[in-house]
Amino acid sequence: MFPRYARGMGIVHALFLMGFSAFLWANGVAENPIFVVMGEWDLFRGIQLIFDQTTILFIATTGLIYFSVLIYCWKRYSQWTFFFLLNMMICTVISVFYSLDLFNAYVCMELFSLVVYLLISFSRRRKQLWAGLKYLLLSAVALNLYLVGVALVYNQTGTLNLLTLHGNEGIPRIGIMLIVGALLVKTGVFFFSMWLPNAHGEADAPVSALLSGLVVKAGYIFLFRIVQALPEPWLTETILHIGWMSALFGGILAFVQTDIKYLLAFSTMSQMGFALCGIASAGISFTLNHALLKGSWFMMAGLIHEWSGMRNLKDLQNARKPFHPLFRLFVLIGFLGVCGIPPFGNTLCKGAIVYGLPEPIQYVLIASSVLSVAYFSKILFAVFLGKRSEGKSTGWTVQAFLPPLLLPLAAIVGLGILYRGEWLSSVLMTGAGIALHWVFGKKLALGYPEKAFRLNRILTLYMLLIAGIALIWIQY
């Protein structure tokens, strides 16, 4: 039965998620959260779930992104196993969104790690297999460290519930550090998540859209829950410093890419660092905006590759077939969404994060924002200003354009209305980013698979070495 109706069941699943989140919102759950303890156990021994504003927003976002990806995949994939794995991944990711139990979150992350590995390597290309294996290896190391941290916390407190851990002074700091470190690996930040460039860059376009739009958000949401439950200054400060480094170095690495998917991959690394800086302020709103926009960008990258057979932006500028005018419009919408030009709310979310931080970090994050405009300008100009021959554009159907359009529109309607303020800063940063692209963008180019592959391998081995030392130190 499932092989025959796999795609239709996915559509029903996505619509149910959006309808369920709308039902919760209409019944005031955003203002009055619902707490559920499974099996009628007490808080110390039961698994507790939470349905609050954050949960509702991310369930709705998951449904929207999943719906758009399914439309994208409708005629491009025929294997029922692909849609089965998508459904499995969506279920496990959502389970993290509403979890308040440390061990339950571990089980869910372990499950979606296995499913994500299968999705990354689904087409069985050599680079895909390596990218999937690296993701699985680093996830296994991270989640083992997470489990050790959970054991240390439970040994000292006798509970794994975040609500009962709130205000508990007996929580071992080393246990929290191991848990947070593992979540940073899953969140996709610089150095901790060196699986991300290959996984996002080599996976099929719809899988990359889900990885960037949803999978890395699962680690971030649970990290947000931990920071809420344990508002320790040392923890928030540590996450802040990791965040600004990821925002800066991820942005630099994205700026020097010529491969469109690797550019988007490092962009995710940079933007998740930005979100970490706002984990105690507007990080959730920024992450929501990023999920919608980056999901659409990866699907547009897939359409560009499908149309031209190219991923290199330099080659794309010299392509001789014209782009469809409607597709150019979608690329422009995505670019304006990244820049935060009205009515998009991206820059306003960033402003809410930046202006509450120490001044040196403010400058770093502003520089990262300018870099983001600069490297997205590379895609924009490749699409609009490439050398085109006269003639008709390719015969894409409306279905090919609908998925990239839905997500930016959702970002407009949602965050563009919720966040209002002065847009002058976004206009200035957009101008600075475009100027940076014109001055340096064509001179600095690092083809990630060729030049940075060794650096990636070294950082991966270094992380495994550090993890091994940490496990030995804990044991003895």
108: in domain: no
Predicted structure pTM score: 0.85
Q: Are strands 34-37 and 48-51 parallel, antiparallel or unpaired?
A: antiparallel
321: in domain: yes
Structure tokens belonging to residue 25: 């919102």
pLDDT in the model for residue 207: 92
26: in domain: no
3-state secondary structure the chain: CHHHHHHHHHHHHHHHHHHHHHHHHHCCCCCCCEEEEHHHCCCCCCCEEEECHHHHHHHHHHHHHHHHHHHHHCCCCCCHHHHHHHHHHHHHHHHHHCECEHHHHHHHHHHHHHHHHHHHCCCCCHHHHHHHHHHHHHHHHHHHHHHHHHHHHHHHHCCCEHHHHCCCCCCCHHHHHHHHHHHHHHHCCCCCCCCHHHHHHHCCHHHHHHHHHHHHHHHHHHHHHHHHHCCCHHHHHHHHHHHHHHHHHHHHHHHCCCEHHHHHHHHHHHHHHHHHHCCCCCHHHHHHHHHHHHHHHHHHHHHHHHHHCCCEHHHHHCCCCCCCHHHHHHHHHHHHHHHCCCCCCHHHHHHHHHCCCCHHHHHHHHHHHHHHHHHHHHHHHHHHCCCCCCCCCCCCCHHHHHHHHHHHHHHHHCHHHHCCCCCHHHHHHHHHHHHHHHHHHCCCCCCHHHHHHHHHHHHHHHHHHHHHHHHHHHHC
**What does each C-alpha distance from 342 to 296, 337, 350, 426, 462 come to in angstroms?**
18, 8, 14, 9, 43
pLDDT in the model for residue 455: 45
Backbone angles phi and psi of 51, in degrees to 5: -120, 100
pLDDT in the model for residue 441: 56
Structure tokens belonging to residue 291: 């999920």
User: Quick check: 263 and 257 in contact, CB under 8 A?
Assistant: yes
Cβ-Cβ contacts under 8 Å for 236 (sequence gap 6 or more)? 227, 279, 280
Dist. CA 125–CA 116, nearest whole Å: 16
Note the pLDDT tens digit of each residue in 311-370. Answer: 888 777 776 566 777 778 888 888 877 777 666 666 667 777 888 788 888 888 888 888
371: in domain: yes
Cβ-Cβ contacts under 8 Å for 428 (sequence gap 6 or more)? none
The parent domain of residue 433 ranges over 232-445
253: in domain: yes
Q: Residues in the chain, how many?
A: 476
pLDDT in the model for residue 133: 87
Q: What one-letter code names the amino acid at 443?
A: K
pLDDT in the model for residue 428: 60
305: in domain: yes
Structure tokens belonging to residue 84: 């089965």
**What does each C-alpha distance from 140 to 14, 178, 189, 230 come to in angstroms?**
29, 13, 17, 25
Structure tokens belonging to residue 231: 């508002």
Low-confidence stretches of the chain (pLDDT beneath 50): 389-395, 421-422, 446-456, 458-460, 462-463, 475-476
* Residue 110 φ/ψ region, left for φ over 0, alpha for ψ in the -120 to 50 degree band, beta for the rest: alpha
Domain count of the fold of the chain = 1
Compute the chain's Rg from CA coordinates: 21
308: in domain: yes
Beta-carbon count within 10 A of 352 CB:
18
212: in domain: no
What residues form DSSP beta bridges with 37?
48
pLDDT in the model for residue 220: 93
User: Quick check: 199 and 121 in contact, CB under 8 A?
Assistant: no
